[in-house]
Amino acid sequence: MRLFAAVVPPDAVLDEIADAIAPYVGQVPGLRWPDRALWHITLGFFGEVPEAVLPELEVRLARAVRRHSALDLAFEGFGAFSSARRARVFWAGVTGDSMVRLADSVRAGARRAGAAQTDEKRFHPHLTLARAKTETDLRPLVEALSGFSGSRWRAERVRLVRSHTGPAMRYESLAEWALAPAERG
């Protein structure tokens, strides 16, 4: 099973992203824009995980998620990996409470459960919006959207998701856990 852990933003803030990028979708040669139903913020990508590991993975992820409070976030700005000039991934940035500790806990729990990490890069919270097979200069796109700032929202849950690859990619939510209530202050 190909698995990852993610936060799925609410529809209202995804609407803001969709509206912002709408004039550009399909206008940049080489960019593939996945269906909005696939949008999420990946906390940890585990790749192929044996079915026998799933029960322990769910226990470890539930424990990791419960240790963290809900996060107040917003989408702000757009960017690209590895750079806007040599991009393969176009994304919307995430600001607000740091997601790094949550992502680190989720990844550590997965490792302890026996789910091999296929991506050990430093965590950079983002929402992937488009991909290119070859390096593409996305500087004009990133600059055109540079003033974007979305509404604040609260991330309250983490999902364990199975991706089904093939001609039509689809995701299946296997489990979901609530983050602790956010501290008021």
- Confidence at residue 122, expressed as pLDDT on a 0 to 100 scale: 82
- Confidence at residue 120, expressed as pLDDT on a 0 to 100 scale: 67
- Confidence at residue 110, expressed as pLDDT on a 0 to 100 scale: 94
- The residue ranges of the chain whose pLDDT is under 70 are 117-120, 183-185
**CB-side neighbour CA atoms (13 Å) of 108:** 10
Domain ranges of the chain: 2-71+95-132+153-178
- Confidence at residue 168, expressed as pLDDT on a 0 to 100 scale: 81
- Confidence at residue 118, expressed as pLDDT on a 0 to 100 scale: 59
- Confidence at residue 84, expressed as pLDDT on a 0 to 100 scale: 94
- Confidence at residue 144, expressed as pLDDT on a 0 to 100 scale: 95
Superfamily classification of domain 2-71+95-132+153-178: Cyclic phosphodiesterase (3.90.1140.10)
